[in-house]
Amino acid sequence: MNKKDVLNALEQIAVYLEIKGENAFRVSAYRKAAQALERDERTLDEIEDPSTLSGIGKGTAAIIKDLKETGETALLTELAEELPDGLLPLLKLQGLGGKKIGKLYQQLGVIDAESLKKVCEEKQVRDLAGFGAKSEEKILVALADLGKRPERLTIAQVLPAAEDLKKRLASIEAVERFELAGSFRRGRETVKDLDFIISTDDPLNVGEELVAMPHVTEIIGHGETKVSLELTYGEIIVPVDFRMVKDESFATTLHHFTGSKDHNVLMRQRAKERGEKISEYGVEEEGTDKVHHFTTETAFFNHFDLPFIPPEIREGMGELEKVIQADKLINEDTIKGDLHMHTTWSDGAQSIEDMVAACQKKGYEYMAITDHSQYLKVANGLTVERLKRQHAEIHAINDKQDSFTVFTGIEMDILPDGTLDYRDDVLKEIDFVIASIHSGFSQDEETIMKRLEAACRNPYVSMIAHPTGRLIGRRDGYPVNMNRLFELAAETQTILELNANPNRLDLSADMLKKAQECGVKICINTDAHRFDMLDHMPIGVKTARRGWLTEETVVNTWSVEAFSNFIKEKRQG
Ligand code: DGT
Ligand code: CA
Ligand code: CA
Ligand code: ZN
């Protein structure tokens, strides 16, 4: 287990003990231990004996050691076995923490969502200390939402299914080739389902293998050439369509089911003008029996005197006319660095060295370490003194590298009153200063814009991170006047971030398009808090392509010199 996992496990122990009704002192011991670990900037491996930290006793230290080395600990296993499985999901209901769930469990015998609903309907909950008629109603509303399936899933939610299914299909012998089509291939922020196109001579056999796969929890349809399933990964149910075709039709079918519908309409019009008709299986010459088949999508497009049109821009937004520009869209290979990430110095799981090694392995030429600033106490933000120590460490690492640059950095909070978290004399020593909003989301647009303007107008602030603060499907973020922000960013040479985290992806594709038209520079970053989050870069790149971004706009496709010069220019005014 890494540090983050251990912190989560300690919190889970605390919650279980609360549910059991253990005394508050024992519960808080685990939370205090987690805080002490988090405050320490070292990784778990570097902390030899956790009991040397103030706030961690011998017993807790042993538990931390177990978790780190084996990924489990007897106490947590016992608690998990002792308490009903249905209780933990109730923590997701707004207003219910360990303590309240404990009362419901001990005094009313609640063990899951169903029994909770029953005692609420029987009006038993209002009589418990700390609850009332209002909270009873709220719980019922929250329970109704809990059971509802979201209409669309985020990329983060379908990614495990997509990866698993690619491996499964690759291992089925009768599958010649396959591709993931639909809105996922086009890089939309959310998808209704996954669409796989499979070429095979033996669709019946492939169909049998598909319905027998692990994770399949529902067979929606099982026809000769189409199989529709629901697969369950953890708590997420993912609907998936599989379409089987002969290899000669593969490219045309792939194009058809990649969509979008609007793009397909444009293509069919173009075909009609030439006396042809596009079907799922090929292109027919009207009035004859002749059907054209294509080995690749490129050949399909070429047939209509078009170059390959990237799936990300197949949205019926003029892509057939503007296709020359499509050639210049950025792609994964052009990314030279990741400029927003966290380490154990604030709320990340890995050390600086570990993150540097991981970025080098990705083939990048540069990167920045950008932990949180002092205002963000919950994330163990850096005081000026700790910032200086961290940056000395980064300088030492950087000096050992020849052809790789590690920039010092910070993700600095823009405070609710519009002031910045460090003074200019601190900022001017930092290579890459990111400013972001993590508080006061309910402020009005004018107040938010004043905060963003203060950051843009500071010569040392090079970038605004996740400019809207949204979490896809969960919260809208704070109110931003986007046109005004683009004007400000362009005027002050402040970069705006495209956050590659699949839960964030702000700026969105539509906004990116406008930003580029305004001359705003964009940086695509992962904001990684763990190793594996560095892998989100391609998701950010897909969104950038949906926004038609070119290398000229995206600063982390530039050489390290060009990037550094851009930062310097703003500082020199
Ligand atoms: P979503 O809603 O996230 O699943 O979006 P898509 O685009 O993946 O939509 P889906 O799964 O219903 O269908 C995949 C593609 O297949 C769609 O983009 C275009 C094509 N397609 C499916 N049904 C129709 C249809 O009735 N008419 C046309 N023109 N195209 C269709
Ligand atoms: Ca779909
Ligand atoms: Ca579908
Ligand atoms: Zn961050």
Distance of alpha carbon 396 from alpha carbon 409, whole angstroms: 14
Residues with CB under 6 A from ligand 1: 182-183, 188, 191-193, 195, 256-257, 259-261, 264
Distance of alpha carbon 457 from alpha carbon 455, whole angstroms: 5
pLDDT digits (tens, 9 = 90+) for 12-42: 999 999 999 999 999 999 999 999 998 888 8
**Residue 313: C-alpha distances to residues 308, 321, 504, 512 (Å):** 11, 12, 20, 13
**Range 332-571 has CATH code 3.20.20.140:** yes
Tell me which CATH homologous superfamily contains domain 153-321: Beta Polymerase, domain 2 (3.30.460.10)
Q: Is 18 in contact with 99 (CB distance < 8 Å)?
A: yes
DSSP characters over 73-92 = -HHHHHHHHHS-TTSGGGGG
Ligand number, closest to the Cα atom of 311? 1
CA–centroid distance, 544 to ligand 1, in Å, is: 22
Q: Ligand 1: which atom is nearest the Cα of residue 241?
A: 11
CA Rg value for the chain: 27
Which residues are within 8 A (CB) of 281 and not within 5 positions of it... i.e. 6 or more apart? Answer: 245, 249, 252, 253, 291
What is the model's pLDDT at position 95?
83
Q: If we measure between CA atoms, which residue out of 21, 30, 168 comes closest to residue 99?
A: 21
Q: If we measure between CA atoms, which residue out of 373, 365, 368 comes closest to residue 355?
A: 368
Task: Say whether 484 sits in a helix, a strand or coil.
Answer: helix
CA–centroid distance, 179 to ligand 1, in Å, is: 15
pLDDT class of 325 with cuts at 50, 70, 90: confident
CA–centroid distance, 228 to ligand 2, in Å, is: 12
Please give the average per-residue pLDDT across 428-434, as a whole number: 98
Ligand number, closest to the Cα atom of 435? 4
Distance of alpha carbon 260 from alpha carbon 251, whole angstroms: 15
Query: Two tokens at 439?
Result: 């508080």
Distance of alpha carbon 486 from alpha carbon 541, whole angstroms: 20
Query: Two tokens at 189?
Result: 């922020």
Q: Ligand 1: which atom is nearest the Cα of residue 183?
A: 8
Distance of alpha carbon 542 from alpha carbon 501, whole angstroms: 12
Q: Prior bond to 135 cis, omega within 30?
A: no
Ligand number, closest to the Cα atom of 465? 4
Range of lowest pLDDT (82-86, 116-120, 227-231, 534-538): 82-86
Please give the average per-residue pLDDT across 325-332, as a whole number: 86
Report the percent of the chain where pLDDT is more than 90.
87
What is the model's pLDDT at position 247?
97
Ligand number, closest to the Cα atom of 372? 4
What is the model's pLDDT at position 41?
85
The best mutation among 242, 254, 257 to test binding of ligand 1, ranked by most ligand atoms within 8 Å of the C-beta, falls on 257
Q: If we measure between CA atoms, which residue out of 254, 244, 282 comes closest to residue 181?
A: 254
Greater confidence (380 vs 186) lies with 186
DSSP characters over 200-266 = -S-HHHHHHHHHTSTTEEEEEEE-SSEEEEEEEETTEEEEEEEEEE-GGGHHHHHHHHH--HHHHHH
Closest C-alpha residue for ligand 1 atom 17: 259
CA–centroid distance, 172 to ligand 3, in Å, is: 22
Q: Is 386 in contact with 40 (CB distance < 8 Å)?
A: no
CA–centroid distance, 192 to ligand 2, in Å, is: 5
Closest C-alpha residue for ligand 1 atom 5: 183
Query: Two tokens at 113?
Result: 């969502």
**Range 3-146 has CATH code 3.65.10.10:** no
Average pLDDT of the residues of the chain: 95
Closest C-alpha residue for ligand 1 atom 16: 257
Predicted confidence (pLDDT) at residue 326 exceeds the cutoff of 80: no
CA–centroid distance, 251 to ligand 4, in Å, is: 41
pLDDT digits (tens, 9 = 90+) for 161-174: 999 999 999 999 99
Closest C-alpha residue for ligand 1 atom 28: 261
pTM of the model: 0.84
What is the model's pLDDT at position 91?
87
pLDDT class of 154 with cuts at 50, 70, 90: very high
Distance of alpha carbon 293 from alpha carbon 296, whole angstroms: 9
Q: Is 523 in contact with 434 (CB distance < 8 Å)?
A: no
Q: Structural domain boundaries of the chain?
A: 3-146, 153-321, 332-571
CA–centroid distance, 195 to ligand 3, in Å, is: 5
Task: Say whether 550 sits in a helix, a strand or coil.
Answer: strand
CA–centroid distance, 194 to ligand 2, in Å, is: 5
Q: Is 280 in contact with 234 (CB distance < 8 Å)?
A: no
Ligand number, closest to the Cα atom of 243? 3
What is the model's pLDDT at position 262?
97
The best mutation among 190, 195, 314 to test binding of ligand 1, ranked by most ligand atoms within 8 Å of the C-beta, falls on 195
